[in-house]
Amino acid sequence: MYLDYVEEHDLFEPIEKMFREVKATPAEVIEQLMVSKDPDVALKGLMGFLESKKMIRESEESEPKEADEE
């Protein structure tokens, strides 16, 4: 198992909120959780990963789109 059984954690709610804003595949999530068996380390890593994905998405959305020159 990736983490010892954890019923509650301070990061569950922020992570759930991030999942509403950012798409991540199950494989990406598992990869982040497998970093450590320590719930704090694994969940902080997952939160950081999701925040990075959000920043990349926002950056891409704010870039001006080039017009087709045909």
* Sequential pLDDT tens for the chain (70 residues): 456 677 888 999 999 999 999 999 999 999 999 999 899 999 999 999 999 999 999 998 888 776 554 5
Longest dimension (CA), the chain: 58
**39, part of any domain:** yes
Q: What is the 3-state secondary structure (H, E, C) of the chain?
A: CCCCCCCCCCCHHHHHHHHHHCCCCHHHHHHHHCCCCCHHHHHHHHHHHHHHHHHHHHHHHHCCCCCCCC
Domain tally, the chain: 1
Alpha-carbon distance of 59 to 70, in angstroms, equals 27
**2, part of any domain:** no
**68, part of any domain:** no
**44, part of any domain:** yes
Instruction: Judge if pTM exceeds 0.75.
Output: yes
30: containing domain = 12-60
**70, part of any domain:** no
pLDDT at 41 (0 to 100): 94
